Chains A and B, each alone.
Chain A
Amino acid sequence: MKTILATDCGSTTTKAIYIQQQPDGVYRLVVRGEAPTTVEKPAEDVTRGVINAVSEVEELSGRKFIAADNTIMVKKDAKEGCDIYLSTSSAGGGLQMMVAGVVKQMTGESAQRAALGAGAIVMDVLATNDRRPNHVKIEAIRRLRPDIILLSGGIDGGTIKHVAALAEIIGAADPKPRFGLGYNLPVIYAGNVAARETVEKELGKKTALQMVDNIRPVLERENLGPARHAIHDLFMEHVMAQAPGYSKLMAWARDTTGENIPIMPTPGAVGEIIQTIARREGITVIGVDIGGATTDVFSVFKGEKYEETHETVFNRTVSANLGMSYSISNVMAETGFDNVMRWVPFHIDEKELRNRIRNKMIRPTTIPQDLQDLIVEQAIAREALRLAFIQHKSLAVGLKGIQRMRTISETFSQSGSGETLVDMLDLDILVGSGGVLSHAPRRSQAAMMLIDAFLPEGFTALAVDSIFMMPQLGVLSKVNEKAATDVFVRDCLIHLGTCVSPVVQAKPDEKVAEIELAFDDGRTETFEMKFGTLACIPLPWAEEPNATLRANPQGKADFGAGPGKPVERKITGGLSGVILDARGRQPFQLPADDALRVKKLQEWQKALDCYPAYETK
């Protein structure tokens, strides 16, 4: 496999990448093309956008990929075509699901995690304890018209009464799929095996029912794999097949033997590459993909029993209505004008801002031409990322409902089952993807958006997917992991730097730590970290750490070893070097006074050289 062509059909744009194996055997990205996704009239065929994006690849590379009949050439040829064509997609609104579990916080949440991990948007979670009367639940199923329903509940061998009640509610709603009048809605039953017969009796004729292994066979264990696979297969068969042009796209995605390569939902593909990074490097990761319609957050953190089992847990959430084009007005609606404007160092009339945002929503493929527009757009991005992360933290939790022997320290720390697994002090790397991050004109802008939204603590490396090709690399990793990881390491990740941020509260300009940075070339520099400041020390990225940072707290600042405890860490940098963020954590707060807020924003933006052209205006 020497020549690889891969596309991602997003909700707003279609991106094509061309990868070529070099004489030394390493795979490298050659060029990338992009075009608006064509699901609307006049084209109403997603393959038109694919051809347009690949045309740009042809123009920029000089290699022909498109045949005379406007299809992708997949053939063994040194001069034209490719050895394999693959694609991912989140166009068509994605996969929309409802899930149901007996107890919302237990099997309800497990079902939600199963659906999200498969790449779905979860429209509603039904549970016997969700406080809604049955007729309201029935109405919700009818109104929302999910593509697939996942029904779970009960450990294997346990009581079947509650899950039978849920099956009755679904049966009574007689749900119809979004697309097409003529076929039954797919329902996956992934609950107590003892209830299978009852569920079959209730739903077998009314729905396209499929049985898979229980997602929670015992309370202490989740088994999400079988349900996720079933969801993905049904997605391909039912949802993708209905969206305009997808049956053609599915036929195009193949290798030179003619074997079809399944199209993955974009979030599923990004999840693959995130897990690959975490596994290869043995690190904890947060990845975020902020798109036009949705913001996906992925994480790999230590499981609750990590000390014993070294098990890490992968989680994915989709914030279905937070995004930078189709969903941009919803970001504003959810967070409010003030939360957006707190990141903007100038004033805009609320009416004017609302119109601008709404115009972006109705014309989603436009981009900011002037600097003010860019600053406002990046402020909205911070809020979308922040809200999406809050949702992620609430779902990436330990299993609830488990009896545990508590240690003394757990008793004092009041930890229990169901705690979030997201530990920002333990986070090794934060990777951003999606247009507003990957296309930020300055990498420092992407670094600032990530820091402001996620508020990393301790020592955290920051990176962006340089031209948001993580989805394509994710689907490629399933057929050629070497090609995917070669390109990922060398061409995909842009290393922004390391953010060093203590958990601390103090008075403005109060010294919170002394920092000593010893470079590999023998130089040593010292810095005073003062509360409320942001500073940037140039340090390039290297495959191996190229500096040692010693943090000596003055007071209770916590760099990861505990309040007031000194820390020494080998680190590397990036395009923004080492970012010393002493603006406070737990909580982080912007100044309430407007003039001071603007002054501080300008100081921080200047420290990272975010908008130099704006400063000189």
Chain B
Amino acid sequence: MGHAYTPGLKVTDNTTIVKERKLPLKGEILVKKGSRVAALDIVARTFLPGNVESINVANKFSLPASDVEDVLLVKVGDKVEKDQIIAKNRGLFGLFKNELHAPVAGTVETISNVTGQLLLREPPHPVQINAYIDGIVKEVIPEEGVLVETRGVFIQGIFGVGGEAHGEVHVVVDSADKSLTPEAIGPECKGKIVVGGDFVSNAALAKALKVGAVGVVAGGFDDSDLKDFLGYDLGVAITGHEDKGITLIITEGFGKIRMAQGTFDLLKSVEGQVAHINGATQIRAGVIRPEIIVPHAEGGAPEKKTDEEGELVKGTPVRCIREPYFGLLGKVTALPVELTELESETKVRILKAKLEDGREVTVPRANVELIES
């Protein structure tokens, strides 16, 4: 039995999903434990401190820092309006008067007699967070946020861009190995999450955006198209904050790769139902994967318990995740303990697998992932 395993992406038709909705700063929670919430309901709010404008009063009046209070017309805690005169000198015999106007409206936060600076803080601005998914408030974390729980379909993608979006699932291809083309996308996709098969081109993505779709899900996408779509080369995979008007989730990888059949069938089964998606991805520690959540109606089938972790044993279904068998599915037939030499002359622990096309292949254990169900 192999203890080494690679964690796979979760693709399940019935599981409990809990999402943490937290404020960036302490604030007010607007819902109670046990309340039913809809995805767009505001569950918590706070105020972020306003931006700070720093004004070097000493420099402006050519004074030593310790003398700035002589020219100031305001004190710490005072509210000021934009362009309000906040400092003024008497000038010389009434001439060469100098006035200092507030560049923004705000509150005087600090006045330093060491640096001669006055810090003006703009009014705080409100921040609200919504529930993100239809569900029940499972827990309230006082002043910080809530946990919202639901039961339903949960699909993790491998990479995404764009943030949270909500819409009906709309599968526009017949099978997992068909590409999403611009021709398949029409006005009926407005407000929806469009699902393709093995690939979405930049042209198709642009069309989806044009007709007002809120999201696109497909098996693969070209990295060069990603660069064109974003307008820059994404260096490190930390995404989710892009403001492109649409959320993109790819389920398998870069290039043309057939969407896993289980994922495709599951998305087809929820055609027309509302999904909550998020393209946010973070590959480094604290991994975040893009996701698609479709809550079940109340009273649905009981949750299917699955093993949280998988291990590699004979018969385990796997997907190859690197050349030369990238994207191909198979089942483990052997797990030799000894190191084996590959074509690259690397010596590693391998497994033998029988692919769907019948071939018996040797693959490094590091180059497969478990297919979770």
Binding site for B on A (CB under 8 A): 11, 34-36, 38-43, 52, 55-56, 59, 91-93, 134-135, 138-139, 160-161, 164-165, 168-169, 171-174, 176, 181, 198, 243, 293, 321, 326-327, 329-330, 332-334, 350-352, 354-371, 373-374, 439, 441-442, 613
User: Are B326's CB and A359's CB within 8 A?
Assistant: yes
B-chain residues with CB within 8 Å of residue A330 when the two chains form the complex: 235-236
* Contact sample, A vs B, 6 pairs, CB 8 Å cutoff: A38-B7, A138-B52, A160-B114, A329-B236, A364-B283, A367-B344
Stretch at the interface among B72-80, B125-133, B284-292: B284-292
A-chain residues with CB within 8 Å of residue B182 when the two chains form the complex: none
Contact of B139 with A by CB under 8 A: no
Of the candidates B23, B286, B324, the one whose C-beta lies within 8 Å of that of A93 is B286
User: Are B234's CB and A333's CB within 8 A?
Assistant: yes
Docked pose: A39 CA to B283 CA in angstroms: 11
A384 shortest CB reach to chain B, Å? 12
A205 shortest CB reach to chain B, Å? 13
Of the candidates A43, A56, A139, A364, the one whose C-beta lies within 8 Å of that of B7 is A43
The residue among A59, A93, A160, A358 with the most chain B CB atoms within 10 A of its own CB is A358
Binding site for A on B (CB under 8 A): 3-7, 10, 22-26, 49, 51-54, 65, 109-110, 112, 114-115, 117, 119, 121, 144, 158-159, 222-224, 226-227, 233-237, 253-255, 281, 283-287, 308-309, 321-324, 326, 337, 342-348, 363-364, 366-367, 369
Given contacts A93-B286, A181-B25, A329-B234, contact A369 B7 (CB under 8 A): no
B-chain residues with CB within 8 Å of residue A333 when the two chains form the complex: 233-235
Docked pose: A153 CA to B204 CA in angstroms: 54
User: Are B7's CB and A41's CB within 8 A?
Assistant: yes
User: Are B4's CB and A363's CB within 8 A?
Assistant: no
Q: Which 4 A-B pairs have the closest CB atoms?
A: A441-B345, A330-B235, A40-B287, A354-B223
The residue among A38, A351, A355 with the most chain B CB atoms within 10 A of its own CB is A355
Give the residue name and chain of the A residue nearest to B348 (CB): A367
A55 shortest CB reach to chain B, Å? 4
Docked pose: A332 CA to B254 CA in angstroms: 15
User: Are A363's CB and B321's CB within 8 A?
Assistant: yes
Q: Is the interface of B mostly helix, strand, loop or mixed?
A: loop
A590 shortest CB reach to chain B, Å? 23
A-chain residues with CB within 8 Å of residue B235 when the two chains form the complex: 321, 327, 329-330, 333-334
User: Are B223's CB and A357's CB within 8 A?
Assistant: yes
Of the candidates A332, A362, A371, the one whose C-beta lies within 8 Å of that of B343 is A371
Give the residue name and chain of the A residue nearest to B49 (CB): A174
Of the candidates A172, A181, A321, A371, the one whose C-beta lies within 8 Å of that of B109 is A172
A-chain residues with CB within 8 Å of residue B7 when the two chains form the complex: 36, 38, 40-43
User: Are A165's CB and B53's CB within 8 A?
Assistant: no
B-chain residues with CB within 8 Å of residue A176 when the two chains form the complex: 24-25
Docked pose: A161 CA to B223 CA in angstroms: 50
User: Are B283's CB and A169's CB within 8 A?
Assistant: no
User: Are A56's CB and B309's CB within 8 A?
Assistant: no
B-chain residues with CB within 8 Å of residue A334 when the two chains form the complex: 235
A-chain residues with CB within 8 Å of residue B5 when the two chains form the complex: 36
A-chain residues with CB within 8 Å of residue B284 when the two chains form the complex: 11, 93, 293, 326
User: Are A442's CB and B345's CB within 8 A?
Assistant: yes
A-chain residues with CB within 8 Å of residue B285 when the two chains form the complex: 11, 39-40, 91-93, 243
A-chain residues with CB within 8 Å of residue B322 when the two chains form the complex: 359-360, 363, 366-369, 373
Of the candidates A34, A91, A168, A374, the one whose C-beta lies within 8 Å of that of B119 is A168
User: Are B54's CB and A168's CB within 8 A?
Assistant: yes
A-chain residues with CB within 8 Å of residue B227 when the two chains form the complex: 354
Docked pose: A332 CA to B224 CA in angstroms: 12
Of the candidates A326, A350, A363, A613, the one whose C-beta lies within 8 Å of that of B236 is A326
Apart from A359-B326, A369-B322, A374-B346, list 4 A-B contacts with CB within 8 A. Answer: A92-B285, A326-B283, A352-B255, A363-B158
